[in-house]
């Protein structure tokens, strides 16, 4: 195995096919542990969780991740970010991501002391987890990355966060001995596109088997709608590099159940609308917008030639048009196919803040057999364009209450450029060629052409 110097190194060791943080350990790897395969195996056995730790379950496969030793901190506390994404189609591939992300901030301030490695509260992902001191929880606790005090309070270890306009933190010197100062990092401009890029690349890299299953289903004339909800966790290092901790495929959709720390009910309802729950813009209901989209789609297909789109192509383009309409006025952004710079600018002007703007086609009665999860039934589905922004109090009686920032305080608009540009991936063709084990399908190419010509 190739473990670059220097030593010692800290590694996260995870059992595969586990969940809920079970069996995760931190191990300190020294150079002599790599002097032979036997020494490394002995180190791994000692560092990894035992069967007793895992409630009698034996795991044969483990994942090792480099520990982010110098993370970006929020008010001096370590955090990771829960992100939502949804794959609405495999062929053609369509991925949406929620720009509103959910920080999980540790309750104890972070230091590089070796004692930290035995303290779960320095790494704890649930703010009020057992054994962790409630009085050290950061206040105000950031319910999301959109609250106005989120970005200005981000800084590396040992540096004071700045209150610069636009949420930029002060430039700092990297801790690798380099004498030049690192460029300042803007959360909306830099971090959000990088997170989107990791999500898209992860899906593209793993697309082979899902495409086989998708083709099998379509070849057997099973045209029911399918989707995949993803909720990956990320950490960010002191220089703004985004590192994915894990890709959760059964993420906990909790709505506003723990509203002291997170509010996600509105975004859950918006995701349902994005998925077509309650209608997908069919013209049979006489909707003027749906009829206009249908006419535009038919004109596009006729221009390409006789039956160039086909029934499945028309169905997929119609679904894409519905998704774009449903996403207007929300924090949901299409990250694949990636938007062109011009399209991204127009999208911003169309309405960034949720609760206002478009959103064509209201939520009606949910279709049968949709598994929504996460307390969706806690609130009624609202119809039409005006989707209220639900707010709850800070909860809890008692002497101590957490002050929590809400999106109602958000006053500045974050910018999200096309994520691939900084790495040279300017088109979906570029991304497919670089990361997907298969060539794009005809439906993919049809979708990309539709988006470019609209």
Task: Show me where the domains of the chain are located.
Answer: 1-67, 192-256+265-391+406-453
407 pLDDT higher than 90: no
Q: Among 324-338, 397-411, 428-442, which is the least confidently predicted range?
A: 397-411
333 vs 250, residue with greater confidence:
333
CB atoms near residue 171 (< 10 Å) = 13
Tokens found for residue 11? 């590694």
Q: What is the pTM of this model?
A: 0.76
Instruction: Give residue 114's Cα distance to chain centre.
Output: 31
pLDDT tens digit string along 185-224? Answer: 889 999 999 999 999 999 999 998 888 888 888 888 777 7
- Average of per-residue pLDDT values in the chain: 74
182 pLDDT higher than 50: no
Phi/psi of residue 230, nearest 5 degrees = -115, 140
Rounded-to-integer distance, Cα 255 and Cα 376, Å: 7
**For position 134, what pLDDT does the model report?**
78
331 pLDDT higher than 90: yes
Rounded-to-integer distance, Cα 191 and Cα 419, Å: 10
pLDDT tens digit string along 152-180? Answer: 999 998 776 554 333 344 434 434 443 33
Instruction: Give residue 221's Cα distance to chain centre.
Output: 32
Phi/psi of residue 237, nearest 5 degrees = -85, 175
Q: Which residues contact 179 (CB under 8 A, 6 or more apart)?
A: 173
Share of the chain above pLDDT 70, in %: 66
Which CA distances in Å does 206 have to 16, 154, 241, 442?
17, 33, 22, 19
Rounded-to-integer distance, Cα 104 and Cα 127, Å: 7
7 pLDDT higher than 70: yes
**For position 142, what pLDDT does the model report?**
93
243 vs 130, residue with greater confidence:
243
3-state SS track over the chain: CCCCCCCCEEEEEEECCCCCCCCCEEEEECHHHHCCHHHHHHHHHHHCCCCCCCCCCCCCCEEEEECCCCECEECCECEEEECCEEEEECCCCEEEEECCCEEEECCCCCCCCHHHHHCHHHHCCCCCCCCCCHHHCCCCEECCCCCCCCHHHEECCCCCCCCCHHHECCCCCCCCCCCCCCCCCEHHHHHHHHHHHHHHHHHHHCCHHHHHHHHHHHHCCCCCCCCEEECCEEEEECCCCEEEEECCCCCCCCCCCCCCCCCCHHHHHHHHHHCCCCCCCCHHHCCHHHHHHHHHHHHHHHHHCCCCCHHHHHHHHHHHHHHHHHHCCCCEEEEECCCCHHHHHHHHHCCCCCCCCCCCCCCCCCCCCCCCCCCHHHCCCCCCCCCCCCCCCCCCCCCCCCCEECHHHCCCCCCCCCHHHHHCCCCHHHHHHHHCCCCCCHHHHHHHHHHHHC
Identify the band that residue 60 occupies on the pLDDT scale cut at 50, 70 and 90.
low
Identify the band that residue 47 occupies on the pLDDT scale cut at 50, 70 and 90.
confident
**For position 51, what pLDDT does the model report?**
57
Q: Among 9-23, 79-93, 216-230, 235-249, which is the least confidently predicted range?
A: 9-23
Identify the band that residue 45 occupies on the pLDDT scale cut at 50, 70 and 90.
confident
Q: Which residues pair with 233 in a beta bridge?
A: 82, 246
Contact 289/358 with Cβ under 8 angstroms?
A: no
pLDDT tens digit string along 90-147? Answer: 999 999 999 999 999 988 888 887 767 667 788 765 655 567 777 888 888 999 999 9
Identify the band that residue 347 occupies on the pLDDT scale cut at 50, 70 and 90.
very low
Rounded-to-integer distance, Cα 163 and Cα 193, Å: 22
Q: Among 4-18, 280-294, 351-365, which is the least confidently predicted range?
A: 351-365
**For position 161, what pLDDT does the model report?**
58
Q: Around 48, how many Cα atoms within 13 Å sit in the side-chain half-sphere? A: 21
pLDDT tens digit string along 63-99? Answer: 888 888 889 999 999 999 999 999 999 999 999 999 9
- Mean pLDDT score, 270-290: 72
């Amino acid at each position: 195995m190739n473990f670059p110097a220097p030593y010692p190194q800290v590694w996260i060791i995870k059992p595969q096919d586990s969940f809920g943080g079970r069996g995760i350990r931190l191990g300190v790897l020294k150079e002599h542990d790599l002097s032979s395969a036997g020494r490394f195996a002995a180190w791994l056995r000692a560092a990894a969780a035992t069967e007793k730790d895992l409630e009698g379950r034996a795991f044969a496969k483990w994942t090792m991740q480099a520990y982010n030793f110098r993370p970006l901190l929020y008010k001096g506390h370590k955090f990771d970010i829960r992100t939502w994404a949804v794959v609405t189609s495999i062929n053609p591939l369509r991925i949406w991501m929620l720009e509103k992300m959910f920080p999980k901030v540790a309750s104890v301030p972070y230091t590089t002391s070796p004692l930290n490695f035995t303290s779960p509260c320095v790494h704890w992902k649930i703010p009020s987890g057992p054994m962790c001191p409630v009085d050290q929880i950061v206040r105000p606790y950031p319910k999301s990355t959109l609250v106005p005090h989120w970005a200005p309070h981000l800084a590396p270890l040992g540096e004071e966060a700045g209150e610069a306009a636009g949420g930029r933190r002060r430039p700092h010197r990297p801790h690798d001995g380099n004498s030049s100062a690192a460029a300042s990092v803007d959360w909306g401009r830099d971090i959000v596109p990088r997170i989107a890029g990791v999500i898209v690349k992860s899906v593209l890299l793993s697309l082979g088997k899902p495409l086989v299953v998708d083709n099998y289903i379509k070849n057997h004339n099973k045209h029911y709608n399918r989707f995949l909800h993803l909720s990956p966790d990320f950490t960010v290092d002191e220089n703004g590099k985004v590192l994915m901790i894990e890709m959760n495929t059964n993420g906990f959709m909790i709505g506003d159940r723990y509203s002291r720390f997170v509010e996600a009910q509105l975004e859950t309802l918006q995701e349902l609308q994005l998925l077509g729950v309650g209608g997908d813009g069919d013209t049979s209901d006489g909707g003027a917008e749906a009829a206009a989209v249908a006419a535009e789609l038919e004109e596009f297909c006729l221009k390409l030639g006789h039956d160039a789109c086909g029934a499945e192509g028309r169905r997929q383009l119609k679904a894409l048009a519905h998704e774009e309409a449903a996403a207007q006025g929300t924090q949901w952004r299409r990250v694949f196919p990636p938007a062109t710079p011009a399209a991204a600018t127009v999208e911003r002007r169309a309405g960034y803040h949720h609760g206002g703007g478009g959103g064509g086609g209201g939520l009606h009665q949910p279709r049968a057999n949709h598994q929504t999860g996460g307390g969706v039934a806690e609130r009624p589905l609202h119809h039409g364009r005006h989707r209220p922004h639900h707010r709850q109090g800070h909860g809890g009686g008692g002497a101590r209450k957490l002050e929590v920032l809400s999106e109602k305080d958000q006053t500045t608009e974050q910018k999200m450029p096309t994520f691939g540009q900084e790495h040279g991936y300017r088109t979906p063709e570029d991304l497919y060629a670089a990361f997907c084990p298969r060539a794009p399908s005809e439906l993919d190419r049809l979708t990309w052409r539709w988006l470019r010509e609209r």
